[in-house]
Structure 1
């Protein structure tokens, strides 16, 4: 039998954060206390629906306008957390944060952030999870429970593992272990040591990996920490070269995971054990544990574990001749990986925008401070002028004004450089995004098609046509993806027929969506005579302005007119929406980008509010 190599991306032992801290200080009164006790009793009874009780408590709180609505919302979020209903956890967690207790010491924010960390983690939104963790740590660092802070540091490190920032990850884990050790924690310190072992494994430092795993198992024996025992054994299983010893470690990992009855730990232990069984040729057992890992991860909606379980099950089924199942698992892996990649792309776009907005605000603050300093300087020199000769006063005043103008000019240049750097960063990320789309989307789907085709000879005659249809659908989707990527790079119509035709085609596509109706008119302009590079730049400008109309104007109709002006080519884009007035084009990043690009080629851009409503944008380019 041919052997494949399965490369595992380990999921750290992530601890649920149930810190009460300030919640213990909340005073709710006897009437609410009885209802909350009833809800707690319901929550601990597995399988019971407690929504009616939770809603009753919240409605009572609203009627009586109580100060502790954050606690009541957090309580309902906790109920959904115990039922693995992540979207509902997020909904009620946000409500809790939006309605804080007026007394800081009685707020439920730490507890709520703990709910949100777990919900976002299991949904695969790791960036939001780490943001919640950092907010939680900030509160705990200001006089909170040090043991709870140690757990939060460990969770931050776990989330940092996704960014491959191993040094920062180890730094947080060491801070976690030190806090837990100093405060004589027995409940989590073994897991923290195990996480350190896994971090050093990612760093390919085998000596420190074994050292921390051995420390973890010693501490776990003292506290019977089943999480640490499970994780440490399956990591030791993967670094052990002797297959029989490796199998012994993975068997122990499965044993402890089953005792723990935690589905995430079981899923992780099962797919590692499945790989060992596969290497020893035990096909039935290997497939059983691989598929159990998938089922458990699906039950709790744990995307990081599910992604690895799909990959493992696909590889093992393929090698043992179950190619139809292998193709199904691999297709599921591709789809899930695609959804996580899409979320990452959206996050990168937000990062660029946030960076730009932050830099913009910082520059505004500096400019304001400079303005205040200028006013103080002017006052000082005015008083001084009464005592000094006019010539001396004039000299000082002129010198000061020049220095300040130079400073302001320098500041403006820095501001423009910062924004341009943001644009350059955006372009680089766009290139990486396209590369990632080709790798994760197109290449993966072709791989799935290949595996599906290879399985056809092994199928019954009546199943072969069904499998061919599945391959056809995969290839059609792949073809559509490639066309979409190519169209985004350089529209075919623009390349072959020029700016006017490309704009008309773009308007037609927008009209098909029914979002707004756009007409395009060419009044014998010379647009087709422009260089291809300039036509592409103007086409991107038109796209940006039309997108602004769709997003912000609430317009029903829009018109694009190409014409000649004394200064060259003129493009007018108008709509019948609510109007927008920003002559300098600095109202947002898109308009500022248009202004900068056109100025760089000697062009001009102006946007005004129409007399009878709507907005008119005018682009003039010297030909």
Structure 2
């Protein structure tokens, strides 16, 4: 198998040529599999992830005939990495967790660390920083002896990236220094630490240093030969030039980036480069060109959305074919019923023959047994087919579910992001003298950002058949931390019983609990004028008890009717079999509490 370091691009190509020449009529499934996977890895190191996935898919047929856990996990991991690089996170998660099961069964610690590092990278790209840090630290702990070195450097790079995103620049730079020293002879990893260091300089306003390290990145990118990475470095240099008001230089860099990305058919990164070009035109004061580029940006996003619609249509055909199979099963059920009726008629004949003569009775009994065995065999065959059909239908529906959630993320999320960009462009491109109109545009932008957050929560629930209570706790903690950052004059308390960590909930139950707590906290912030809001989740043998309390102005329950928000909270909890209660008095705070009975939870 190839070494997948970009520095050996020529040697990789020679190795692939040797592998291909070695294939002949006597080649085994393993030989063919190794060549297809190696070719896929080679394409991925060049940034050609779609071609890489095609090669990996071509190896899948041989994979079924290979009893080799190491080769199977290699295939799973590279497939996951390609999907991650293309932004298909649901598919990336599917393959990477399959690989984790195999590594754990094999007891292969380096493979487990590889999975943890990849999960950390996926969560970083999804901006789930708590999960990213958890998996990256787990990977680093497994690799504490720095072996294998490339895996240790991979994990260290993403941990440095995490600290940079958190604003912990000193920690990030310390890891970058270590990485650059260890990766001196590994170009494709060395460039990642240079990129981290350059971004740290950019975040702290050291623009000349940032430009220097991004240029160093570009030198190594050309050495590795990854077109996508070269284009990214040009984009980064364009951003630095923009900040330094060197607008003509910024244009040259962004043009170079877009030329490379278009030849590589990377529409997502082309859209990112278009956004930078819009900002360059704004800085020049050429708002006409900014609007023209915005139209091109809009067209690019619509093309991506149309591609997703085509994928959705293909998924519909899958469901249609599944429906045809279910119709065929219904016909088989009818045939089985007719077969049973015929068997009963034959049994009646056998009983009459038994009365005629003992000999005929023995013959009839044997005949009856034979017929009965045939019926039982048919029943078992039908049950097996029915079970396989159910499993296949469930798999297809799960795939459709993942497709829908990805469409929500890529299509609706992209459109909402475009709305925010368009509103901001409109506000900055035109002089708006009408204060009410400007306020309305700000409201639209804020509402759209809030809708994106709601959409992410919905996608999170759709991607899960079951939700671990620990995942729900982390999501609630993220929500409360964001609320704390937005409302500085309110203090928040959040406490969850440790015994609940192992509990799992259905996606419906988990989402209703999350939305109810979210609504209660928002009410306390917006309407109660509270200075303290506390969320307490504990458990006993029978139920889970959730309490959201505040020290706000409260209200008189005998006088004031429930609003739609309070009614919706009560409805959510009742729908999942829980009990809901609100306790409030004027000037004495409000207490929202509900119980979820464990014997009724759909876990």
Q: TM-score range by the shorter chain?
A: 0.3 to 0.5
TM-score, normalization: structure 1?
A: 0.44
